Amino acid sequence: MNNRKLQALRNLAERPGTESEGKLAREILDRLERKLPEDDSEATRWFWFEKYLRTRDMSDLEKACSFPNYCDCGASYRTPKCENLTLHSKIRSQTVELFPKGTRIYYNRWAYEPNSPGIVMGYPRDAERLWNWMRIKFYSLKSARNVPVYSRSGYHVSIEPVNRPELQK
């Protein structure tokens, strides 16, 4: 993330020239903060925001904001959050079925060592918000923690170690 651009966006959100400018800037900030690590829509947002900084054309700012977000369930959405609740709860049940409490698993996601071994301790109670999360006790850590286990690219947990963890970012 480019700090200078981010600062420009924050400045605009806090001290907008017009009301709609501020509203759009806050929406873009919010979307960027909630983005997925693999979400390619971030680059597109920055592209339009940078263009806006040069042109000061409100339609460029609108484009930066209207580009859809991608939910971990795979759906794209323009609403503040994904409304695909049926799919979320289906994935949640499937997760519980595939990886019941006590299952030995390997976890693969960016920021973690490839094939981090652990054991399934449960699933966060806030099923609506954390529908794709799991509570895992990693062997390398003292206490259990909640981590996301499903995204657009599929599961980040498996029963067997995976060969090419770099593909499961």
* Interacting residue ranges for Zn ion, rule: CB under 5 A: 71, 73, 75, 82, 84
Residue closer to Zn ion (CB basis): 63 or 88 = 88
Residue closer to Zn ion (CB basis): 12 or 71 = 71
Largest CA distance in the chain: 56
* Interstrand relation of 150-151 and 154-155 (parallel, antiparallel or unpaired): antiparallel
Q: What is the smallest separation between the CB atom of 147 and Zn ion, expressed in angstroms?
A: 18
Residue closer to Zn ion (CB basis): 85 or 167 = 85
Structure tokens at 61: 């700012």
Q: What is the smallest separation between the CB atom of 87 and Zn ion, expressed in angstroms?
A: 6
Count CB-CB contacts under 10 A for residue 42.
17
Residue closer to Zn ion (CB basis): 82 or 120 = 82
Quick one: three-class SS letters along the chain? CCHHHHHHHHHHHHCCCCHHHHHHHHHHHHHHHCCCCCCCHHHHHHHHHHHHHHHCCHHHHHHHHHCCEECCCCCEECCCCCCCHHHHHHHHHHHHHHCCCCCEEEECCCCCCCCEEEEEEECCCCCCCCCCEEEEEECCCCCCEEEECEECCEECEECCCCCCHHHHC
Q: What is the smallest separation between the CB atom of 82 and Zn ion, expressed in angstroms?
A: 3
Residue closer to Zn ion (CB basis): 75 or 98 = 75
